[in-house]
Structure 1
Amino acid sequence: YLLFFTQKGKCFWMRVYEIPEGTKASKGRAIQNIINIEPDDKVAAYICTQDLKDQDYIKSHNLIMVTKQGQVKKTSLEKYSKPRVNGVAAITIKEGDELLGAKLTNGESQVLIAGKSGKMVRFEEAKTRPMGRTASGVRGITLKDEADEVIGIVTVNKDDINETQILVVTENGYGKRTKLVDDDGEDVYRITNRGGKGVKTLNITEKTGSLIAINNVTDDDDLMIINKSGLTIRMMVSDLRVMGRATQGVRLINIKGTDSIAAVTKVLREDEEVVELDEDGNPIEVLEAETSEEETPENNDSDVEPDNNEELE
């Protein structure tokens, strides 16, 4: 099943095979033609689950939801195991707020919530008690001011903590990756109670702009950045060196004029075979190829702020 969560806090179901299959360049179908979503509502998150009739599975997994104003809620997947055509209420959204994201957890995960101001809070999933579908949740992060808002949520399984890295991107195209736990086993992002102000995950300046995206990545992932103008770039996460928590990062993409970043996501790395063609368009057979590593210049130190391990309240 696919579970769709809308900005107004409703949940809809769909079997994966019910989604029309298309080509890479096809436009696709409007979501309103597939599920009974209201015209003025939008899908904020989706989750792919196993068979919802598997009692052991649905009772051992939870859904963690977060709103733009920092409310967080945990509900057992069992509460969403009976699909309805018109959907059900997943969370009660307060006035002026909207659902931002939803994640599937196994009961022993850690939750990381980041704000536009560059702060991020990390807490154990167990700090949030299970609630009903119509509950509005509890405070997950205390935002800096009225202009601040949550930009993303990441959940990390207990067994993956040592290998997980946090990658953040700003609206002006700067980004960086930081380990969740350093090589000495020390937490780079300290674990706190939910509702705290968090610690710096990136040093926000006028040059970087506000934080807009957060992802948990590994060296085997690729990063894809899409601009509102349609420009798309794809890069290997391993090409970005690991930096300190309170650093400014490096430029990932050049933003021109009034353009801005529309979406940032991690994708699975694929080894694509490059085939050279002759003048007639026929593939050229390569009998032997030699590859040489070119020395890659180090990142400009002027783009990186020193890591002063500053932790604010």
Structure 2
Amino acid sequence: MSEDESAVEIEEVSDENTEDTLDLNIDKVVSLVIPKGEGAILTATQNGYGKRTQLSEYPTKSRNTKGVISIKVSERNGKVVAATQVEETDQIMLITDAGTLVRTRVSEVSIVGRNTQGVRLIRTAENENVVSLERVCDVDEEEISQDSDTEQ
């Protein structure tokens, strides 16, 4: 990584008030985001919670650091499953282990600070967990029409 580049490393950090049975006390790197321009980091947890946090709230880190907290890990939230950089016009797709797909606008997700719990992004069943978060870029309808015309 050059001196001009910075990276935001999302680390799962347990909340001290959680129960031991959840095994939330294990820290691990979940995502590595190399910021491009402006925007926010959208973080999602296994129980369907998440949030957006402005890039300016994340300190720049080098390779030999432990990362930063992006969302509080708690019994309510569960573990962090993904984090990605998003723009206001993007959409996201949340995917659960039961095969549920939910697509929503990024603009509908609250922007809050790094060390907070976030809001519900998807309502999951009792034994269902979010396993993935994907960013869906804003696609121009005219481009889609042109692509389908060239395929025929």
Match of 2:133 among 241, 260, 264: 264
- Report the TM-score when normalising by structure 1: 0.39
Residue deviations 1:11-60 (CA, integer Å, cap 9, x gap): xxxxxxxxxxxxxxxxxxxxxxxxxxxxxxxxxxxxxxxxxxxxxxxxxx
Q: Which amino acid aligns with 1:153?
A: L
Question: Secondary structure at the residue paired with 1:220?
Answer: coil
Q: Which amino acid aligns with 1:265?
A: E
CA distance in 2, matches of 1:225, 1:107: 34
Task: Give 2:119's aligned residue.
Answer: 250
Output aligned runs, 1:275-290, within 5 Å.
none
Question: Secondary structure at the residue paired with 1:219?
Answer: coil
CA RMSD in angstroms, aligned pairs only: 2.3
CA distance in 2, matches of 1:262, 1:199: 21
Matched, 1:228 2:102: no
- Report the TM-score when normalising by structure 2: 0.76
CA distance in 1, matches of 2:106, 2:71: 17
CA distance in 2, matches of 1:261, 1:219: 22
Greater relative CO (CA pairs within 8 A, separation 6+) = 2
Larger radius of gyration: 1
Question: Secondary structure at the residue paired with 2:34?
Answer: strand
Task: Give 2:30's aligned residue.
Answer: 151
CA distance in 2, matches of 1:226, 1:238: 19
Matched, 1:114 2:10: yes
Q: Which amino acid aligns with 1:151?
A: V
- Superposition deviation, residue 241 in structure 1: 2.2
Output aligned runs, 1:38-57, within 5 Å.
none
Q: Which amino acid aligns with 1:234?
A: R
- Superposition deviation, residue 107 in structure 1: 7.1
- Which segments of 5 or more consecutive residues in structure 1 lack a partner in the other structure? 1-73, 75-105, 119-144, 182-187, 273-313
Task: Give 1:164's aligned residue.
Answer: 39
Which consecutive segments of 4 or more residues in structure 1 shift more than 4 A? none
Task: Give 1:34's aligned residue.
Answer: none
Higher helix share: 2
Aligned residues: 132
- Which segments of 5 or more consecutive residues in structure 2 lack a partner in the other structure? 15-23, 142-152
CA distance in 2, matches of 1:107, 1:217: 23
